Chain A
Amino acid sequence: MTTASPQIVAQALVKRFGAFEALGGVSFEVAPGEVMGFLGPNGAGKSTLIRILCGLLRPSSGRALVAGIDVAKDPEGVRKRIGYMSQKFSLYNDLSVIENLRFFGGIYGVPRQDMEARLRFAVDMAGLAGQEDSLVATLAGGWKQRLALGAAILHRPTILFLDEPTSGVDPQSRRRFWNLIHTLGAEGVSVLVSTHYMDEAEYCNRIALINRGRLVALGTPAELKQRSLGGELLEVRCRNLGAAIEALRRAPGVRDAAVFGSTVHVVADPAANYRAGLAHYLAGHGIADAGVRPIAPTLEDSFVSLVQASSSAAEAR
């Protein structure tokens, strides 16, 4: 990305709730204009992390700098410069579109002379022109999400925190939402967005994989795919998937085998040269109809493999 000083810096953030460790020392940086995705299963610690960065939770230890400001020392200074969308829709359902925006404009202290223009911008961005006076309760999910985003950027924040902004929204609206996020990124806004949709993570400049409160991997989607598997990815097609899995798991040099749709995905040590020899190996174990071909890993492959690796490492600890 750029060499400009990072907009978000997390240094060894730890958060404990009683005996439960929600975050176990997470460090990363987000550059200006970067869209950073936090991907992880439910309960991985994504919301906790975002809440710490917004100053809503105090970390048990570690340091968070947002826009160069220490969140623990000057949370109000941070709040002026950020926009936040919480996981749960949090605009006022009993207020109209424009009343909601006006409220947040007032709260964020949007300069009076800019107010009308900013409201106009937010309404247009959300695609709600002509519906300014509709009660928010009557809007469909996708419009609500875009309105919430509009409210979060009324004051032109340079940093945006979005906590699972697209959960429960139809695919078309999700696509539109991500276009908006990239527009903001192109304008120099740093966006930290959490999600558990794999396809969405592909839209991010960089992805942080998070599991059980720990950062499992961090990199561009392409980097993660290459790095994570620790072997080559082969797709096996055959009729009897169960028997194939059984046989594959016992094969020397096979790191992992998992059902993927109507096929089996196999991660194998390149040294075993299974690209050529796996069909033969399977035939020797009673599966004669196996077709094997190498495939490019998807993010989901690397996600599953990384999460499994980190979970078994955590259990070993």
Chain B
Amino acid sequence: MRLRRVRAITVKESLQIVRDPRSLMIALLIPLMQMFMLGYGINLDIMHIPVCVMDREASQDSQGLLHRFAASRYFDVRRAAGSEADIRRELDSGDCSVAVVIPAGFSQGIGDTGAGEVQVLVDGTDSNTANISASYARAVISAYSADMQSAALRRKGAVATTATPVDTQARVWFNEELESRNFIVPGIVAMVMAIVGAQLTALTIAREWERGTMELLMSTPVEPMELMLGKLLPYFVVGMVDAAICLALAVFWFHVPFRGTLGLLLFTTSLFLLVVLCIGYYISVAIRSQVAASQIALLLTMLPTTLLSGFAFPIEQMPAFVRGVTYLVSARYYVTIVKAVFLKGTGAAGLAVPILCLAVYAAAVTLLASRAFRKTLG
């Protein structure tokens, strides 16, 4: 391998990048757009659930409970329904996804048996949201129930004790506010880089084929490894600029807490960038058409990164087979690393396994890409 030839290719490739300001703008603007779109668009927090209520008793007790719903930040009481048909209509139209019905004998039930009955109807179309809504509703009701109980005890003259036998004090670590954005945004960085990185190099060899420059290039003494290195270098720089933009947006715009070290983040980011650049390059060598190479690169990076990297959908919840497949997705390792470095401030030692996996992955795809290029026409 001769560095002189690598340099000649790098210079040529850089000139071509600079001469094509449109592509360069796209390479820099797309990450920006994706960060904003995904950063604002994906929100897994469930709040302000629209509720309709039907109070058949209209007593102090029933109003008290409904006030609790109104006061909760998880629920928005939108309507007071007059009949079962109203409720049905609200749920059908999707205007409300939860209905709380208090029957006429609510207070009496509490007085007689100590057990009043409340009906909570949940729109189960989106099972995840339904589950969460139901448990929020249950929490509101049981808090109210506990308060009523202690008030009753106080009335009976018993020594007021609000203490429950077992008290849970749950404390959330790493993402204290349980903001889903803090968890999602570092993953978006990985996704944006996977998509943009592979796109950058997917065109590079295919373009030479389409313009007819490849045949001449192949008749020269340039070695496949020199060609690959020379072509990857300038795109590596562009990719790192993209990464810097994404990471800066995550920290300064989306205010995701950054607790780790910048060095570790940049090191692992460059490893991941190498992986996606090599994947794009490999596709470009294999496909020889710019449009097709770009489409395939998009498909091969976006789908697995979205679905199988754990960036939004927890890998632990996947069926065993799919979980096995995720080990083949390089973004999986990078997503693990970025999230940990951002939120937990984990160091290199704690992330040794994913870092090692990513490094092995990078070495493998580099080897694959460097050997894919054959200097014959067929």
Contact = CB atoms under 8 A, between A and B. Distances in A.
Interface stretch (A77-85, A203-211, A309-317): A77-85
A96 B2 CA distance: 24
A135 to B, nearest CB: 8
A86 B216 contact: yes
Contact of B219 (A58, A84, A106): A84
A270 interface: no
A232 B376 CA distance: 47
Given A55-B376, A99-B12, A106-B4, A90 B220 contact: no
B97 to A, nearest CB: 56
B166 interface: no
Interface in B206-253: 211-223
Contacts of B320: none
B20 interface: yes
Given A51-B377, A57-B377, A95-B15, A108 B221 contact: yes
A94 interface: yes
Given A57-B376, A90-B215, A109-B5, A79 B11 contact: no
The CB with the most chain A CB atoms within 10 A, among B5, B11, B216, is that of B216
B5 A107 contact: yes
B378 A57 contact: yes
A77 to B, nearest CB: 9
Nearest to A95: B15
B9 interface: yes
Interface in A28-65: 51, 54-58
A58 B213 contact: no
A138 to B, nearest CB: 13
A104 B375 contact: no
A76 B9 CA distance: 18
A92 B12 contact: yes
B212 A75 contact: no
A93 interface: yes
Contacts of B376: 55-58
B16 interface: yes
B8 interface: yes
Nearest to B8: A106
Contacts of B223: 76
Given A102-B8, A109-B5, A56 B15 contact: no
A56 B215 contact: yes
Given A56-B375, A57-B377, A103 B12 contact: yes
Contact of B215 (A86, A92, A99, A108): A86
Contact of B7 (A89, A91, A106, A161): A106
A56 B219 contact: yes
B378 A109 contact: no
Interface string A116-160: 000000000000000000000000000000000000000000000
Given A91-B213, A109-B2, A80 B219 contact: no
A95 B16 contact: yes
B20 A107 contact: no
Given A54-B219, A107-B221, A107-B222, A89 B212 contact: yes
Contacts of A89: 212
Interface in B102-127: none
A75 B375 CA distance: 9
A82 to B, nearest CB: 7
A204 B298 CA distance: 52
A76 B212 CA distance: 21
A55 B16 contact: no
A107 B9 contact: yes
B19 interface: yes
Contacts of B216: 84-86, 90-91
Q: Which 8 A-B pairs have the closest CB atoms?
A: A106-B8, A90-B216, A88-B212, A84-B219, A103-B12, A79-B221, A86-B215, A94-B19
Interface of B: 2, 4-5, 7-9, 11-12, 15-16, 19-20, 211-223, 375-378
Given A79-B220, A103-B11, 13 more contacts: A56-B218, A76-B221, A86-B215, A90-B212, A90-B213, A90-B216, A95-B19, A103-B9, A103-B12, A106-B8, A107-B8, A107-B9, A108-B220
26 contacts: A55-B376, A56-B215, A57-B376, A57-B377, A80-B221, A84-B216, A84-B219, A86-B212, A86-B219, A88-B212, A88-B215, A90-B211, A90-B214, A90-B216, A91-B213, A92-B211, A94-B16, A94-B20, A95-B12, A99-B12, A103-B11, A104-B220, A107-B217, A107-B220, A107-B222, A109-B221
